[in-house]
Structure 1
Amino acid sequence: MVDLWMPGAARHDVGDHAPTDPTYPARAIAHITWDKNASPSAPADHISFETLLSYFTGSGVQMAPHLIWDPFTGQLAQLYPADSRSKSVVDLPGGTRTNRAGKYVIQIEAVFFPYTRYNGKVYATLADTPCKGWSDINAWTRSLGIADAWPMGHPTDFTPHRSESVWETAGGWYAHAQVPENDHVDPGSWPSFITPVKPPQPPTYEPFPGAGFFVAGRKSPIIRAMHARLVAVGCNHYLSSADADVWGPGDERSYAAWQRKLGYTGSAADGIPGPTSWTALHVPNV
């Protein structure tokens, strides 16, 4: 089950939901708000997240995206659920359904314009900013099945690159400058995709099969795996490696050496595996 509302984003549902068109692949559209025209010689102060949120939930609701994202603070607000179209691109009657062309068509407005001044520093492009919150956005869009790919190229400038045939056939990420029927040239840049971090997987070891398992003549791949581990930990008291999968005297001698290595003495080092010593041996799962 996917999250239609992004975890961690403030929910400001503006209503007026409408279905998307799943005959197209899932995609995301990258925008910047471009709410000021600044330049290298005349930078302008950052417009607050709250100001843009107020606009898109008020007088600008007819142009509202799914997500509003402040790359300086990491603030996020979501205005539509993922399975509804939003309204940040032109969608002409009778043409490609730009706002709806995909199982999901997630539109993201970064609160940014070129040469934004924030805390005294000027940022020429969105990718220059701290991009706080981007990893969370990327993880969420990936969970919706939106590929980490730019079919028309990762945006690096403010020029349009549009192909309706690519748009209609390829899922992934698109700049506003790449969406058919539109004339905007943003976002100019966008942060790189975040490589998913896979949690370390603990080794899988063979569970203790019970003391009654270890009887003369027992044949099992578990015994072969145990044999190899006893050799690996320096407790090799086998006369040969023949019949390594059959429990016999060599196994008892070698396992007793392992028990002594763990500090067991007397009858506790009798060569018959117990749960504690078995767990410590890390016999691979077979």
Structure 2
Amino acid sequence: MADLWMPEAEQYDLGDHAPTDRQYPPKAVAHITMDRKATQAKPVPHVSFGRLLSYFTGAGRASAPHILWDPFTGQFAQFYPANSRSKSVADGPGGTRTNRAGKVVLQIEAVFFPHTIFDGKAYASLADTPCKGWAELHRWVRSHGVPDVWPMGRPTSFTAHRSERTWETKGGWYAHAHVPENDHTDPGSWPVFKRSPKPTKPTKPAKPAPAAPPFPGRQFFVLGATNKHALQLQKWLHTGDWGPKYQVGPSQTMTPKDFQKIAALQAHYVSALGPADGFCGPLTWKYAFEVATGLRKL
């Protein structure tokens, strides 16, 4: 049985689950957040995953997708289980209930806008980005029966192509620009499907390196939070010879100094950890552990 919650995603269940209309074939809908206006002449810095996560769990919860995906860092957040509808497309009068018209209707929001700058480089289209995590995302969507086809064509521009008949009768991937009763024209592009590699001869497994403890969740690392996970993170941060110096030893409470230390670590690994905003997500947690234990060199 396919996982209702993507294993690689942080879970932020918004509740308000509702069933899909299972008489229609399974679908996935591709979106981009399109949260800044930029041009080739005037590119704009990337908006962090954390900011979009705050939006969809706050003011934007009424339009939240199933999955928020950052193609630069490979981070995921999930707001609804796969067997519930989400709310990322408009549902006009008549026709199908667009958010529900399928055995599943999995809606994916990529954290991207055209001409975004990440790690000093501007990217004109989503397909040009590193697309980190796409293989895992594609595998999860496929596990819910969504076929590797674009019934209205793989998006290559911000052009709308809509057919109510195709939407009702064909399973597969749709751009937001393909969904009936909608006027958005995103995502403009999308990565190609990843085929499973041919099996290779098994080799003797190497001894696994020590792994970071499971990431407990962002709520444990907000300013002023007091808990054992904050203490563990501070122990790692204290061992690192980067950023500002601590004047006192580790404690269980998150302080502004901790945020400065986290931001300095993120700035050193900006290509992987994204903008240095000082907030601890799963990748920052992992890197702090690896640097503190000598698995990763600054």
**TM-score with structure 1 length normalisation?**
0.69
The yes-or-no answer on 1:67 pairing with 2:67 is yes
Q: CA deviation at 1:196?
A: 1.3
**Partner in structure 2 of residue 116 of structure 1:** 116
Q: CA deviation at 1:82?
A: 0.1
Can you list the C-alpha shifts for 1:206-231, whole angstroms capped at 9, x where unaligned? Answer: xxxxxxxxxxxxxxxxxxxxxxxxxx
Q: CA deviation at 1:2?
A: 1.1
The amino acid that maps onto 1:75 is Q
Q: CA deviation at 1:158?
A: 0.3
**Partner in structure 1 of residue 107 of structure 2:** 107
Q: CA deviation at 1:199?
A: 2.8
Q: Aligned partners of 1:193 and 1:108: how far apart in 2?
A: 15
Q: Aligned partners of 2:25 and 2:82: how far apart in 1?
A: 14
Matches within 5 A, 1:42-191: 42-191=42-191
The amino acid that maps onto 2:12 is H
Can you list the C-alpha shifts for 1:132-185, whole angstroms capped at 9, x where unaligned? Answer: 000001000111100000000000000101111101000000000000000000
Per the alignment, in what secondary structure is the counterpart of residue 76 of structure 1? strand
Q: CA deviation at 1:93?
A: 3.2
**Partner in structure 2 of residue 197 of structure 1:** 197
Q: Aligned partners of 1:199 and 1:158: how far apart in 2?
A: 38
Per the alignment, in what secondary structure is the counterpart of residue 96 of structure 1? coil
Q: CA deviation at 1:198?
A: 4.1
Per the alignment, in what secondary structure is the counterpart of residue 54 of structure 2? helix
**Partner in structure 1 of residue 252 of structure 2:** none
The amino acid that maps onto 2:182 is N
Q: Is the 8 A contact 2:85 2:100 kept in 1?
A: yes
Q: Aligned partners of 1:168 and 1:95: how far apart in 2?
A: 9
**Partner in structure 2 of residue 36 of structure 1:** 36
**Partner in structure 1 of residue 295 of structure 2:** none
Q: Aligned partners of 1:13 and 1:40: how far apart in 2?
A: 37
Q: Aligned partners of 2:95 and 2:58: how far apart in 1?
A: 28
Q: Aligned partners of 1:96 and 1:201: how far apart in 2?
A: 48
Q: CA deviation at 1:96?
A: 1.3
Q: CA deviation at 1:95?
A: 2.2
Q: CA deviation at 1:194?
A: 0.1
**Partner in structure 2 of residue 221 of structure 1:** none
The amino acid that maps onto 2:65 is P
Q: Aligned partners of 2:108 and 2:170: how far apart in 1?
A: 19
**Pair 1:197–1:99, CA change in 2 (3 A):** same
The alignment covers a number of residue pairs equal to 202
The amino acid that maps onto 1:190 is W
Calculate percent identity across the aligned residue pairs: 67
Gaps of 5+ in 1: 203-286
The amino acid that maps onto 2:141 is T
**Partner in structure 1 of residue 26 of structure 2:** 26
Q: Aligned partners of 1:39 and 1:146: how far apart in 2?
A: 34
**TM-score with structure 2 length normalisation?**
0.67
Q: Aligned partners of 2:18 and 2:77: how far apart in 1?
A: 19
Q: CA deviation at 1:200?
A: 4.1
The amino acid that maps onto 1:130 is P
Can you list the C-alpha shifts for 1:218-264, whole angstroms capped at 9, x where unaligned? Answer: xxxxxxxxxxxxxxxxxxxxxxxxxxxxxxxxxxxxxxxxxxxxxxx
Per the alignment, in what secondary structure is the counterpart of residue 108 of structure 2? strand
Q: Is the 8 A contact 2:70 2:76 kept in 1?
A: yes
Per the alignment, in what secondary structure is the counterpart of residue 180 of structure 1? coil
Q: CA deviation at 1:94?
A: 2.9
Q: Is the 8 A contact 2:91 2:99 kept in 1?
A: yes
Q: Is the 8 A contact 2:95 2:164 kept in 1?
A: no
Per the alignment, in what secondary structure is the counterpart of residue 177 of structure 2? helix
Q: Aligned partners of 1:146 and 1:182: how far apart in 2?
A: 21
Can you list the C-alpha shifts for 1:57-99, whole angstroms capped at 9, x where unaligned? Answer: 1000000000000000000000000000000000123321110
Gaps of 5+ in 2: 203-298
Q: Aligned partners of 1:59 and 1:199: how far apart in 2?
A: 46
Question: Could you say which structure has the larger radius of gyration?
Answer: 1
